[in-house]
Each structure stands twice: as C-alpha cells, then as structure tokens.
C-alpha cells in the first residue's frame, strides 16, 4: 500500500522542520507532501530542505483548497491512502498508526482521529460549544457518535480522496462536519479512533479572533448545501 502524508501549510516556517522530522521518524513508510498555501515566509524552502515534496499555491486559497491539492496529487500519483495532518505541530505523527490499525480493523473508508476519546484534551469555551454542536448535528444526520468533527488528523482511502479531489466536492476553507455529512450521503463508511494531539498554547489558530463567528455562519450554509444537494451529484 502506498501512503501519502498531506500537510497544508501557511506561514509554518517555525514548526514545519520539526513536524517533518517526526513524520519521517514515525511514518517512514509514507511519502510526504507539503502544500504551501501562499506563505510569505520560508515554509516552502524549509520543507524542501527536509526532503518533502512541495506544491506551492501562488496565494492563500484556504485550508480546504490546500487539502484538495494534496488529494489531486495523490490521485495522479496512484496512492492508496492519504493521511492528513496539520503543519503546526499539534498532531502527533506516531498516532497515524492508530488510524491505520483502525482502518484495517473496521474496513471503514475514513478514519477520523479524535483528540477527545480517552483524553483530557482541552479547548476554549467557544470552540468547545461549536464542536459539541456540530457533533450533535453529525450524530443526528449520520447516526454515528463523532466526538471530534473538526479534527484534521484523518486517514482516507483512495475512493474517498478521489471523490474529494473532484470539482467542488471539497470546500476551500472549512472542511468539517459538512464533509462528514457529504461522505455519509455518498455511502462512505466513517469511524473514529483515539489520537494524541498537543494542546495549542500559542493562541495561533484558524479559529481565533472573530473567525469562530464566521466559521459558524459558513458551516451552517455548508450543512444546508449538503442537505439540498442530490446524493448522485
């Protein structure tokens, strides 16, 4: 099986080197692709120096767009599985083996790495409310208990990332509970497994400042689009 680790990165010069070291040590059987999403620092050069494959967007397109670039690369290079991770160091690469073991055992198409199963991981009150709200929406729609619908630490098989690589099947910015719902609608099998994550103490987050409010508005619109979109589309 061919595995590809996809790391979307925007101005992650200070963290990307250490992350790539850990990925190389803990997931030595996988290739690594850094999708530099229009960074204005040395993210791309640093990643290339560490031996990762690098694709650079000419300007910042969004987290989801960076992931979709990785999915399209994986399709063209005939990879069997994609592991998605953040480039800021919060995801612990050794937990990728948990994802692989869970997929082997469950035969699911997508394994979501949950920071909350068997863990005391803490998030801010606003994010906690949002995560719980969207977890309930996911459960109501899919019947599954998804504890961490915003987790970007995932393992996808070829059928899933090939679907997400197509056209507008993946959002440019926030691929969270809307993608879980869309994949469920397409009859893909989804499950969770525990993973280790390092709590964010820097304050740097795609959900910082006023972004949580924008995130909630966009996510509600995305959920509505999933509900009205035909399953065959």
Structure token pair of residue 73: 């690369």
Q: What is the pLDDT of residues 158-183, one digit of tens each?
A: 999 999 999 888 988 777 888 999 99
Least confident of 7-16, 93-102, 199-208: 199-208
Q: What is the mean pLDDT of residues 124-139?
A: 81
What pLDDT, on the 0 to 100 scale, is given for residue 123?
Answer: 74
How much is the pTM? Answer: 0.87
Orientation of helix 177-185 relative to helix 125-142, angle to 10°: 10
Q: In terms of Cα–Cα distance, which of 124, 185, 169, 168 is closest to 150?
A: 124
SS3 157: strand
What pLDDT, on the 0 to 100 scale, is given for residue 212?
Answer: 61
Residue 208 — very low, low, confident or very high, per pLDDT cuts 50/70/90? low
Residue 229 has pLDDT above 70, yes or no: no
What pLDDT, on the 0 to 100 scale, is given for residue 233?
Answer: 42
Residue 210 has pLDDT above 60, yes or no: no
CATH class, range 3-228 = alpha beta
Structure token pair of residue 56: 């650079």
What pLDDT, on the 0 to 100 scale, is given for residue 156?
Answer: 98
């Amino acid at each position: 099986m061919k595995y590809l680790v996809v790391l979307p990165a925007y101005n992650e010069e200070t963290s990307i080197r250490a992350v790539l070291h850990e990925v190389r040590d803990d997931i030595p059987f996988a290739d690594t692709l850094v999708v530099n999403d229009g960074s204005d620092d040395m993210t791309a050069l640093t990643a290339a120096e560490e031996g990762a494959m690098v694709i650079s967007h000419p300007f910042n397109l969004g987290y989801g767009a960076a992931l979709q670039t990785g999915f399209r690369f994986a399709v063209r290079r005939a990879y069997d599985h994609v592991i998605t991770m953040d480039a800021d160091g919060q995801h612990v690469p050794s937990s990728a083996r948990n994802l692989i073991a869970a997929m082997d055992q469950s035969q699911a198409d997508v394994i979501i790495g949950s920071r909350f199963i068997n863990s005391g991981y803490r998030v801010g009150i606003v994010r906690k409310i949002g995560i719980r709200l969207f977890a309930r929406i996911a459960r109501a729609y899919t019947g599954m208990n998804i504890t961490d619908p915003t987790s970007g630490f995932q393992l996808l098989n070829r059928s899933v990332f090939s679907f997400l690589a197509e056209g507008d099947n993946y959002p440019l910015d926030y691929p969270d509970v809307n993608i879980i719902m869309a994949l469920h609608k397409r009859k893909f099998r989804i499950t969770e497994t525990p993973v280790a994550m390092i709590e964010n103490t820097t304050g740097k987050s795609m959900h910082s400042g006023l972004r949580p409010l924008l995130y909630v508005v966009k996510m509600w619109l995305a959920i509505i689009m999933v509900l009205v979109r035909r399953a065959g589309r």
